[in-house]
Chain A
Amino acid sequence: MSVDQETIFQNKIDNEIRIEPKDWMPEAYRRMLIRQMSQHAHSEIVGMLPEGNWITRAPTLKRKATLIAKVQDEAGHGLYLYSAAETLGISRDEMLQQLHSGKAKYSSIFNYPTLTWADVGAIGWLVDGAAIMNQVPLCRASYGPYARAMTRICKEESFHQRQGFEILLTLSKGNEAQRNMCQDAIDRWWWPSVMMFGPPDTDSPNSAQSMRWKIKRISNDELRQKFIDVCAEQVKLLNMQLPDKDLKWNEQTGHYDFGEINWKEFYDVLNGKGPCNAERMTARVKAHEDGEWVREAAQAHANKIAVNS
Chain B
Amino acid sequence: MQNNDWPLWEIFIRSKRGLDHKHVGSLHAADARTAIENARDVYTRRMEGVSIWVVESKNIHASNPEEAGDLFDPATDKAYRHPTFYDLPDDLKNM
Contacts and interface: CB of A to CB of B under 8 A. Distances in A.
Chain A bound to chain B: yes
Contact of A91 (B4, B42, B62): B4
Given A296-B1, A298-B34, A299-B6, A92 B41 contact: no
A155 to B, nearest CB: 9
A23 interface: yes
Contacts, number: 60
B8 A299 contact: no
At the interface, is chain A mostly helix, strand, loop or mixed? helix
B30 interface: yes
B64 interface: yes
A276 interface: no
Contact of A305 (B25, B31, B42): B31
Nearest to A148: B25
A93 B30 contact: no
Interface string B44-65: 0110000000000000001011
A93 B2 contact: yes
Contacts of A22: 62, 64-65
A72 to B, nearest CB: 7
B28 interface: yes
Interface string B1-40: 1111110100000000000000011111111001000000
A92 B65 contact: no
B42 A76 contact: yes
B30 A76 contact: no
Interface of A: 20, 22-24, 69, 72-73, 76, 79-80, 83-84, 86, 91-93, 96, 148-149, 152, 156, 292, 295-296, 298-299, 301-302, 305-306
B34 A302 contact: yes
Contacts of B90: none
B73 interface: no
A151 to B, nearest CB: 11
A83 B34 contact: no
Contacts of B70: none
B77 interface: no
Contacts of A84: 25
Interface size class on chain B is: 20 to 34
Given A72-B45, A76-B45, A298-B29, 12 more contacts: A22-B64, A73-B45, A76-B41, A83-B27, A83-B28, A84-B25, A92-B4, A93-B2, A93-B3, A295-B6, A301-B30, A306-B31
- Sorted from nearest, which 6 A-B pairs have the closest CB atoms? A302-B30, A302-B31, A298-B30, A93-B4, A83-B26, A299-B30
Given A20-B65, A24-B66, A301 B27 contact: no
Interface of B: 1-6, 8, 24-31, 34, 41-42, 45-46, 62, 64-66
B45 A79 contact: no
B70 to A, nearest CB: 15
B27 A79 contact: yes
A148 B23 CA distance: 11
Nearest to A23: B65
A10 to B, nearest CB: 16
A302 B8 CA distance: 14
Contacts of A295: 1, 3, 6, 30
Nearest to B29: A298
A92 B28 CA distance: 9
Nearest to A69: B45
A67 B24 CA distance: 25
A306 B7 CA distance: 13
A77 B24 CA distance: 13
